[in-house]
Structure formats: structure tokens, C-alpha cells
Amino acid sequence: MKNIGFLSFGHWTPSPYSQTQSARDALIQGIDLAVAAEELGVDGAYFRVHHFARQYASPFPLLSAVGARTSRIEIGTGVIDMRYENPLYMAEDSAAADLISGERLQLGISRGSPEQVIDGWRYFGYDPGESASEADMARAHTETYLKIIEGAQFAEPNPRPMFPNPPGKLRVEPYSETLRDRIWWGSSSLATARWAAGLGMNLQSSTLKNDENGKPFHIQQREQIEAYREAWREAGHEREPRVSVSRSIFALVNDEDRRYFGLDRQTKDQIGNIDDQTRAIFGRSYAAEPDVLVKELAEDEAIQAADTLLLTVPNQLGVDYNAHALESILTQVAPDLGWR
């Protein structure tokens, strides 16, 4: 068995070829797709976070709305850029969204990816300081956030408060008792995967990874998962960790599928530089008849190693088409791979 979710970037553009013309369209359609996915038996609805872009940005209103409209499906992010986050305010927002959903949040966080503007986090009021990098700042925000959602009591109470306080120092409210076990770190390297394991976070690995040894993407990603699980065991955590990988996968079952994805040529890994220091490897996409997909996916070592698969969806094609694409994977591919 494997958990299967979708991951939407929430793109919108005022183009006549897009069914998602505005930010409102992207948000409402994201909610509607989560509802449709739950009805189909999909396990998770995940949303990407990008700032200064025509995509999803502030995730918690969307997560709360999805939580209020659904009852079973996991609701997550992939990922929130911690360079931009106030850990205390985020603790309030994430706990509220988690409680609204009945504790179904699966919150993916990370250092973030290359962005639309230069040092966008500075516009949000954050500065890593002279002796730290932006990655250091993201990890510091993360460690503070984790302590807060563990229920740390640190704030000195007012001796004459407006409302009566419980005894002792105060914590951030609202508080979700189980949220801490449902935080995921989006990792692109062996080192950050091990770091996430040490802090007891689940692991998200996307379709992009630092090219650390020249091997095919799915093998490097499988090695990353193995390094993460080894570090988890060494840290002595009591619960079993979860691991997700993301893929673009489309079953070609009708003419519309073939028109959109039948000529997809991203069937090989790609190499590129995401910044001046980092050489990255981008994983291939999959688009084929269901029987061919079954054979190809069975050879993807990272998918086999993960317990959760996130299917990236072309949200600008609309809710109905994306629901169809998800249903095709669930009914015509997943059973033959033993995922259902």
C-alpha cells in the first residue's frame, strides 16, 4: 500500500488557454479539487507555496478552507519557505488550520527554492545577519517553530491580565497536541535529509535534488531516503517516519490525455544549475499507456522506497481534468503496482 496525494502549484494566468484566470480561481479550484480527490479515494491534497508569483502563497487560509470542506483526506504543503515565516505566528496559524481539519495537516516546510525576486524574505522583514546565511535563517526559524508547536511555555504572564491565565508561563495558542509529528522537511541533499531526521521531521523529496554523485535521479533520491532513515534510527525516535516523493505521472487513456501529454519529451533526467554554487538534477516525468506506466514506475527506486507519492497536477487544465487524471492513476496504474 502507498499513500497517493496530489501536489498543486496553483498557477494562474489571464490567458484564454487557461481555466485558472485569477488568484480566486486558483484558490477555489484548489478547494474543489481536494473535495473531488477525497471522493475518488486520494489520500492527500498538497499545495506549493511561492512568494511574489502568480501561484499559491499564504497557505493557511487555503488549508483551513480545505479542512472545513473535507473529512478524511490529508491536507499539506510542499513546501512553505521558512525564510519568510514568523515562527510564532505560523504556530498559531498552523494549529488553527490543523484543529479545523480534525488534525489532518501534513505540513511540509523547507529552506525554499529559487524565487522570483532577489532576497524576497527581506521585504517580509527578515535578515539572517552578517554571520549567517539565508539557509541558516530558515533552519533557525524552523527550530524555533518546532519548539513552539511542542507546547513550550515561555511567555511571562501579565499580573493583571484581561482574562484569567492558567498557572505558570504561557504558550502560544491555539495548540494542537499531535501537529509536531506531522511536520515534513523538504530536502534536496543528503545532509539536510539527515538534519531533518535528527529533529524528528518526516521527509519530502521533490523532482529536484542536488546532483551529489552523477547517478540517475531516482537512485540518488533512493540513497537520500536510505540516509534519512539511517539517521532517524540513530536519533532514537520512537515513531516510524514518513517519506514522500513527487512525480509528474499521466496515464494516457483517452484522446484528451494524448493531446496534452502524448508528446511529453521529458522522459529523461535533466541537469542544471539552480544557483551559482548548486548543480541540480531534475527527475523525469512519466506519460504513457497504463501498462507501460506500470513497468516504468516499478523501476523507479525512490518511488518504491517512499510510503507516499505526490502527483503534481497541471492545475490550469481545470478541476474536472485533474480529477480524471488522478482517477486514471488510482484505477488503472496503482492496483497493478500493489499500491491499492
Spatial distance between the Cα atoms of 81 and 317, rounded to a whole number of angstroms: 26
Examine the pLDDT at 29 and tell me if it is beyond 90: yes
On whether the CB atoms of residues 18 and 24 are closer than 8 A, the answer is: no
On whether the CB atoms of residues 304 and 310 are closer than 8 A, the answer is: no
Percent of the chain with pLDDT over 70: 100
Model pLDDT, residue 278: 81
Spatial distance between the Cα atoms of 235 and 229, rounded to a whole number of angstroms: 10
Q: Which residue has the higher pLDDT, 279 or 90?
A: 90
Model pLDDT, residue 237: 97
Of 326, 289, 266, nearest to 34 (Cα)?
326
User: Of the given ranges (36-40, 111-115, 122-126), which has the lowest mean pLDDT?
Assistant: 111-115
Calculate the alpha carbon distances from 294 to 220, 311, 314, 330, 333 in Å. 21, 15, 21, 12, 6
Assigned C-alpha cell, 234: 540513530
> Which residues of 78-168 form beta strands (DSSP E)?
80-81, 105-110
On whether the CB atoms of residues 252 and 262 are closer than 8 A, the answer is: yes
Query: What is the mean pLDDT of the segment spanning 193-198?
Result: 98
Model pLDDT, residue 115: 85
Query: What is the mean pLDDT of the segment spanning 205-219?
Result: 93
Query: What is the mean pLDDT of the segment spanning 39-59?
Result: 97
Amino acid at 59: P
Angle at 162 between CA 156 and CA 168, to 5 degrees: 30
What is the separation, in whole angstroms, between the first and last Cα of the chain?
6
Spatial distance between the Cα atoms of 41 and 297, rounded to a whole number of angstroms: 20
Tell me if residue 296 falls in helix, strand or coil: helix
Tell me if residue 231 falls in helix, strand or coil: helix
Assigned C-alpha cell, 309: 507519492
Examine the pLDDT at 128 and tell me if it is beyond 80: yes
Query: What is the mean pLDDT of the segment spanning 180-203?
Result: 97
Model pLDDT, residue 275: 72
Query: What is the mean pLDDT of the segment spanning 105-126?
Result: 94
Model pLDDT, residue 196: 98
On whether the CB atoms of residues 284 and 268 are closer than 8 A, the answer is: yes
Spatial distance between the Cα atoms of 79 and 57, rounded to a whole number of angstroms: 10
Examine the pLDDT at 33 and tell me if it is beyond 90: yes
The confidence band for 48, taking pLDDT boundaries of 50, 70 and 90, is very high
Can the peptide bond before residue 174 be classed as cis, meaning omega within 30 degrees of 0?
yes
Percent of the chain with pLDDT over 90: 92
Model pLDDT, residue 273: 80
Kindly report, residue by residue over 270-291, the tens digit of the pLDDT: 888 877 778 899 999 999 999 9
- DSSP code at position 4: E
- R_g of the chain computed on alpha carbons: 20
Model pLDDT, residue 276: 72
On whether the CB atoms of residues 300 and 218 are closer than 8 A, the answer is: yes
Q: Which residue has the higher pLDDT, 208 or 252?
A: 252
Spatial distance between the Cα atoms of 155 and 145, rounded to a whole number of angstroms: 15
Assigned C-alpha cell, 1: 500500500
The confidence band for 267, taking pLDDT boundaries of 50, 70 and 90, is confident
Amino acid at 301: E
Tell me if residue 226 falls in helix, strand or coil: helix
Calculate the alpha carbon distances from 253 to 55, 157, 224, 258, 339 in Å. 29, 62, 33, 8, 19
User: Of the given ranges (124-128, 135-139, 277-281), which has the lowest mean pLDDT?
Assistant: 277-281
- The whole model's pTM is what? 0.95
Mean pLDDT across the chain, nearest whole number?
Answer: 96
Examine the pLDDT at 295 and tell me if it is beyond 80: yes
* Torsion-angle region of 151 (φ positive above 0: left; ψ -120 to 50: alpha; else: beta): left
Q: Are strands 279-282 and 270-273 parallel, antiparallel or unpaired?
A: antiparallel
Examine the pLDDT at 80 and tell me if it is beyond 80: yes
Kindly report, residue by residue over 320-329, the tens digit of the pLDDT: 999 999 999 9
Model pLDDT, residue 256: 97
